[in-house]
Chains A and B, each alone.
Chain A
Amino acid sequence: MDLSAINPVLLIAAIISAATPVLLAAIGETVVEKSGVLNLGVEGMMIIGAVTGFIVAVNTGDPLIGFAMAAVGGAGLSLLFAFLTQVALANQVASGLALTLFGLGLSALMGQSYVGIKPPRMPDMPFGDLPNMPVIGPIVFGHDAIVYVGLLLVALTWAVLKFTRAGLILRAVGENHDAAHALGYKVKRIRTMAIMFGGACAGLGGAHISLIRVPQWTEGMTAGVGWIALALVVFASWKPWRVLLGAYLFGGISQLQLNLQGAGVAIPVEYLAMSPYIVTIVVLVILSADKSRAPASLGRTFHASG
């Protein structure tokens, strides 16, 4: 056993990078759920984003265009969910599960001829020599653009939800859609926009896996990250900063267990792999005592009668 082999600075930098896909997907889903909609199709939207981003990046040679189109792709798929739940008033849980099934299949079809290809490399951030600074360098400046986009989105979501009129309306729709409707807000339009935002974020997160973290395209490569994002939203009790904290905690535990293994610590791997989920449950229980709770209209269908 040699714990000194673990470099804490690099570990922290790795956690920040590894947490980005789940962070992006979760921050999008937070907004969706704040508007009172539960979309269980995150995994499907992520993988569509992963494949769309990959195909576009390979064909244009520009990863940034790839990321942009990944967001469009994710949002596009989410429109299907929006149609089912907001127009056809179908059950959200079932629609979300169906969306994941559909997305996994469609992405595999789309990506058939892109297996075994290397995507273009993401350009470095224009930080010059900053990433070489001790400690702060790798942690603060050593990342790709999408990592910073993710952080920015967290801050933006927090600010919009908390301080703006748009955020207020979104929360009102999520808390009580009938009252919001009575006040003259277009419940369905607002929810559709929230769903598309969620889809775009999930798409970005998926593309981060296929273009930066791995980077390659293979079927089913998101491997359950979308589900973890769903868990994260509740873990964070629908608060953007807690989503960030949760993403680092989740990413941190899995990174730490890999590093501990590398350092030769004899740990029961399965039990450590369980631990993020058990920790989530424990946190959920602790948070239940807290005032923060789910948006009151979460998962309920809205139809303006009369």
Chain B
Amino acid sequence: MKFGKLLTSAVLALGLAGGAAFAQDKTKVGFVYVGPVGDGGWTYEHDQGRKAVEEAFGDAVETVYVENVAEGPDSERVMTQMALDGADLIFTTSFGYMDPTINVAAKFPNVKFEHATGYKRADNVSTYSARFYEGRAVQGHIAGKMTKSNIVGYIASFPIPEVIRGINSAYLHASKVNPDVEFKIIWVYTWFDPAKEADAAKALIEQGADVVLQHTDSTAPQAAAAEAGGVVTFGQASDMAEYGPFPRVSSIIDNWAPYYVARTKAVMDGTWESVDTWDGIPTGMVEIGEITDAVPADVKEEALAMIEAMRTGAYHPFTGPINKQDGSAWLGEGETADDGTLAGMSFYIEGVDGEIPN
């Protein structure tokens, strides 16, 4: 790591030389985005978090961001550049930035890094992610209650643990309140392709689905449901309130703002430590968007009660007895899933039809 030393010593030298001139009183926070800030979904919500940091600390912070950064060497360069430019804290907001973040962090031991959705940490690298499956449990409950055809459509992106976890959580809670419910799952192999998402939603609706859940980021499925009429949807990643009160009856919102503000504060106070954060409803990282009046009052009440139980920690969405798809036991009576199994979940639970691709 000779080069790393060269870089850090250069930074230190600059810091010393320029200390007086630049007066390091501002905390500089960098954000690396995988999509454009105008995607209305994943990157948009991270950028809302960045704006919250600016709002919270005003002149005491300076935030910078680079959007549309390809995973791989480009992201490594952008992170290095931010560190060279004097960033104190850098948020890297895509799974594919994992190894580049670790590489760059090794070269800049004095800069703090925060990597979203990954599993590799270091002394100056924290990881953070949201328990979206808690929100899926609420959606599953509402879906199970509201479907008349007993067919729930699910637009899935890629067969990775995060998505599979969501399907399991939604199915579990839908089948709890409606044993006849059936999930139709379409894998679109993209996070964001409005036209394809619209087509998938239409295909599901034509096959009888009257509730459509999506694990992709565009509002195209909402529009398809609105056009078809009588189909329930949920906002994903951002609130998608423009499609409320119907078809969008609720949503899962990625609310990164509290975490970003807290971590920036920690850097300012000198209390920052490398941690692995997996937060959900209790801390507000996963927010449930307003449940509209299109949902029957009793269902809404049950949903709110479930949210409250998760907030206080009284209820875990994966509480046994739960069997795996092949019928083998996974969780015993009253047993809750451990984070390790959840993080790498690559199996369906009992009752879900079909196979996970690959």
Kindly supply a per-residue 1/0 record for chain B positions 37-48, scoring 1 wherever the CB is within 8 Å of any chain A CB and 0 otherwise: 011100010000
Contact B207–A5 (Cβ < 8 Å): yes
B195 and A214: CB pair below 8 A? Answer: yes
Residue on A nearest B38 in the bound complex, by CB: A115
CB contacts under 8 Å to B, within A203-221, are: 209, 213-216, 218-221
Is A14 a contact partner of B199 (Cβ separation < 8 A)?
yes
What is the chain A residue whose CB lies nearest that of B354? Answer: A264
Q: Which of B185, B188, B198, B209 has the most CB of A within 10 A?
A: B198
Contact present for B208 and A223 (CB under 8 Å) = no
Nearest Cβ on chain A to B237's Cβ, whole angstroms: 12
Q: Mark A10-50, 1 if CB is under 8 A from B, else 0.
A: 11001000100100000000000000000000000000000
A210 → chain B, closest Cβ, in Å? 9
Decide yes or no whether A273 CB sits under 8 A from chain B: yes
Q: Are A14 and B223 in contact (CB under 8 A)?
A: no
Is there contact, CB below 8 Å, between A270 and B189? Answer: yes
Tell me whether A255 and B203 are in contact in the complex, defined as CB-CB below 8 angstroms, given that A116-B40, A273-B189 are known contacts.
yes
- A221 and B194 in contact, given A118-B242, A264-B353, A269-B189 (Cβ under 8 angstroms): yes
Within 8 A of A (CB), among B171-208: 184-190, 192-196, 198-200, 202-204, 206-208
> How many chain-A residues does the 8 Å CB contact rule pick out?
40
Residue of A nearest to B159 (CB): A269
Q: In the bound complex, do residue B204 and residue A262 qualify as a contact, i.e. CB atoms below 8 Å apart?
A: yes
Q: Is B195's CB under 8 angstroms from A225's CB?
A: yes
Question: How long is the Cα–Cα vector from A261 to B218 in the complex, in angstroms?
Answer: 20
State A254–B189 Cα separation when bound (angstroms): 12
Q: Give the number of chain B interface residues (Cβ < 8 Å).
A: 40
Partner of A214, one of B44, B223, B355: B223
Contact residues in A for B282 (Cβ distance below 8 Å): none
B218 touches A266 (CB 8 A): no
Q: Are B38 and A108 in contact (CB under 8 A)?
A: yes
The yes or no answer to B219 lying at the interface (CB within 8 A) is yes
The 6 lowest CB-CB distance pairs between A and B, nearest first, are: A214-B194, A258-B203, A5-B207, A10-B206, A219-B36, A115-B38
CB nearest neighbor in A for B209:
A262
